[in-house]
Amino acid sequence: MRKVFASFLLSLFCLLWASPYEGGVSLVIIDAGHGGSDPGASAFGCDEKDLTLSIARALESELAGRGVETVMIRDDDRYISLEERCDEANSQNFDLSGYPVFVSLHINSAENPAAEGFEVYTRPEEHETAMLSQSSSDSLMLKYSDYTAGQLSCLSWRVSSRLAENICTEVAESLPELRMRGVKSENFWVLNGTWMPSVLVEAGFISNRSEAALMSTEDFQERLARAIADAVCRL
Ligand SMILES: [Zn+2]
């Protein structure tokens, strides 16, 4: 009961506290999963690393068309460790009139060839305080010095959740052929290691023959990129 009350108080506090996450998104950090010697999941002649890069490029160009600044963690077929991806994201400078978000792109895989659908992950809410109290990013300190790690953390988690919900709503509308599996939370390295609002997209199952074929098309990649860009712009 005491725990429930504490979490109620924390939520109330978050609601009342003026958010540093105002002014809209000023930078989208796009993380194409895997690369180089790490192909990710593979099936039916497709590698996850190639699909994530194609979707990342489509997203970059979609956002550029809308005047939104982007950074690509990788723009070619190279290996980058999870730690390096987080360091790269955390060291970005961004326009202080808004805030950055981190979007990691992945493709799902399962032993069951019938497994299908689209899902988006956020980091678990309880992870945030520990992660942010260790952050020493200069850009974080610049704008966010007035906030304690605890305040930043619950606010960042809320923005991550909103972005994940937005992405699912937009994808359900623009890609009705995908089964919507919804928003989940998991301790993924790139979500826990980045201080800004962050989500990890699992675009579909490479182990499902028809989904692998669908995800390989430019039409799918562009529609997905548009849906994610719409979701970001609605934040
Ligand atoms: Zn992956």
CATH number, domain of 29, equals 3.40.630.40
Ligand 1 centre from 196 Cα, in Å? 20
Q: In what order do the strands lie in the sheet with 99-108?
A: 70-72, 25-32, 99-108, 198-205, 118-122, 180-185
- Angle among Cα 69, 75, 80 to the nearest 5 degrees reads 110
- Counted domains in the chain: 1
Look at residue 12 and tell me whether its pLDDT is greater than 60. Answer: no
Give the closest residue to 102 by CA, choosing from 162, 27, 51. 27
Q: Is residue 64 part of a domain?
A: yes
Give the closest residue to 197 by CA, choosing from 43, 90, 63, 107. 90
Q: Residue 35 gets which letter from DSSP?
A: B
Q: Is residue 102 part of a domain?
A: yes
49-97 per-position pLDDT tens digit: 999 999 999 999 999 999 999 999 999 999 999 999 999 998 888 777 7
| Chain centroid to CA 148 | 23
Rounded CA gap, 224 and 181, in Å? Answer: 15
Ligand 1 centre from 9 Cα, in Å? 36
Rounded CA gap, 183 and 179, in Å? Answer: 13
Rounded CA gap, 224 and 201, in Å? Answer: 10
Ligand 1 centre from 31 Cα, in Å? 11
- Which of the two residues, 132 and 216, has the higher pLDDT score? 216
Up-side HSE of residue 67: CA atoms within 13 Å toward CB?
Answer: 2
Q: Is residue 52 part of a domain?
A: yes
Q: Residue 105 gets which letter from DSSP?
A: E
**pTM > 0.95: yes or no:** no
Q: Is residue 3 part of a domain?
A: no
Q: Is residue 10 part of a domain?
A: no
Q: Check: CB of residue 96 under 8 Å from CB of residue 27.
A: no
Ligand 1 centre from 106 Cα, in Å? 4
- What percent of the chain has a predicted confidence (pLDDT) above 90? 64
Ligand 1 centre from 119 Cα, in Å? 13
Ligand 1 centre from 99 Cα, in Å? 26
87-117 per-position pLDDT tens digit: 999 888 877 778 889 999 999 999 999 999 9
- What percent of the chain has a predicted confidence (pLDDT) above 70? 78
Rounded CA gap, 117 and 61, in Å? Answer: 25
Q: State phi, psi for 65 to the nearest 5 degrees.
A: -60, -25
Q: Is residue 173 part of a domain?
A: yes
Domain hosting residue 188, numbered range: 22-233
Ligand 1 centre from 38 Cα, in Å? 10
